[in-house]
């Protein structure tokens, strides 16, 4: 079941979005991968965008960081 998050004000919501949501370019910087690799992760369901726009996607930053950690763990093995 999804976690429910509520906000007391519009400013609180804005702060959450700024800090917790990243676009495609930011996700690429965090992951250190190519756009093609990111598209492949999305197609395989490894990373799920929270919103798809005509020329961009939005992701939860926590999901992107989790994927980065998983990739780093694989490199160590």
pLDDT of residue 3: 82
Reduced to 3 states (helix: H, G, I; strand: E, B; else coil), residue 47 is: coil
* Residue 27 burial (CB count, 10 A): 26
Q: List the CATH code of the domain at 10-76.
A: 1.10.1660
To the question of pTM greater than 0.75 for the whole model, the response is yes
- Tokens linked to 51: 């919103």
Domain ranges of the chain: 10-76
- Flag whether pLDDT at 75 surpasses 90: no
The pLDDT of residue 42 is 98
**pLDDT tens figures, 7-39:** 999 999 999 999 999 999 999 999 999 999 999
**What pLDDT, on the 0 to 100 scale, is given for residue 1?**
60
Nearest to 58 by CA among 16, 27, 15: 27
Q: What angle do CA 16, 41, 47 make, to 5 degrees?
A: 30
């Amino acid at each position: 079941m999804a976690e429910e998050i509520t906000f007391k004000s519009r400013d609180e919501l804005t702060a959450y979005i700024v800090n917790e949501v990243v676009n495609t370019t930011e996700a690429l910087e965090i992951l250190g991968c190519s756009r093609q690799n990111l598209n492949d992760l999305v197609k395989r369901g490894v990373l799920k965008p929270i919103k798809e726009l005509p020329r961009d996607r939005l992701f939860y930053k926590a999901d992107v960081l989790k994927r980065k950690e998983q990739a780093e763990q694989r490199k160590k093995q």
